Amino acid sequence: MNLRHLRAFAAIADLGGFARAAPALHLSQPALSRQIHALEEQLGVPLFDRVGRGVQLTSEGEDLLLRSRRLLAEVEALGERARALKTGATGILRVGATPQVIENLLAKFIVRHKRLHPGVEVHLVEDGGEHMAERLEHGDIHLACLPAGDSRFKSRLLAPMHLVAVLPRAHRFAKRGVLEFAELAGEPLVVLRREFGSRTWFDAACQVARVHPVVLLESSVPQTLVELAATGYATAILPSTASPPRSGIRAVPLVYRGASLGRWLSIGWDGQRFLAPYAAQFIDEFVASARLEFPGQDLIRRAPALPKPKESAA
């Protein structure tokens, strides 16, 4: 369907004839007549009755004029939407993150973001850190909070994540500044499932330190592990992003031979795909927010520094 022909059809009806519509459309009357004839041929019905020097809508023309107006309005709205998307004023943004990052870092930020950018609709996708790269690569999400260092993606650094032991305050290790990983040997533990990045760090540390862990529960809910640790059931092994301060427990950074265990967290995106302006704006604002409000700041100060990787995007 030629939109120019539909606009010509509506203009003739609005202005009361070909003679008035032609100059408004910057066309000659013969050219305008050809457009309407082509539209009538395509639709298979007459749109106007010629009455003397004027024209009058046929019954078919009256019906199709209403539908044409709706279609032209939709086209105009589509153009407005595209212009808004281009300027970064509106759009849909899918952001992937682990439960602990959503709870302790993204939840408050997206409320502020919504107030500042009401046209941008942020959809959160929850998953373990080990799956984020796959989701990002497949295009399921636009942005992902994931460990830094994956060369497949562009990224900006957020803050370091340390592996910590969450203990009741009465535990013999609770007053330590840091805890050597080997001292976990024989301790009852509750840990995250293998789809979480911090579980990968834990398994690797067990292998290097030759610790055979006594694991009583594997869970996909960090808060479940925190609650179990608070009861004294077992020590919870979590990333520092999942251990907010609360009464009755203490989080102690884990080290191996004095070196911290963990990775830097980043927000990443696929550099091979188009990054909308509103997505780039989200990244800038989220990075600034995270560096001020990153959870576990006290743990970061107590633990030996993690090596800081280079950002892969300016």
Say if domain 3-87 classifies as CATH 1.10.10.10: yes
How many other C-beta atoms can be found within 10 angstroms of the C-beta atom of residue 302? 17
Q: What is the CATH number of domain 91-158+265-294?
A: 3.40.190.10
Q: How many CA atoms lie within 13 A of 159 on its CB side?
A: 23
Does the pLDDT at position 236 exceed 90? yes
Topology match between the domains 91-158+265-294 and 159-262:
yes
Domain boundaries, the chain: 3-87, 91-158+265-294, 159-262
Q: Which fold has domain 159-262?
A: D-Maltodextrin-Binding Protein; domain 2 (3.40.190)
Is the separation of the CB atoms in 125 and 141 below 8 Å? yes
Distance CA 139, CA 118 (A): 24
Distance CA 9, CA 69 (A): 10
In tens, the pLDDT along 139-160 reads 889 999 999 988 899 999 999 9
Provide φ and ψ at 214, rounded to 5°: -100, 90
Distance CA 30, CA 40 (A): 15
Most confidently predicted of 24-38, 49-63, 233-247: 24-38
Band the pLDDT of 107: cuts 50, 70, 90: very high
Does the pLDDT at position 314 exceed 80? no
pLDDT for 243: 63
- Closest by CA to 103, choosing from 193, 239, 223, 231, is 223
- Copy the structure tokens of residue 101: 């990052």
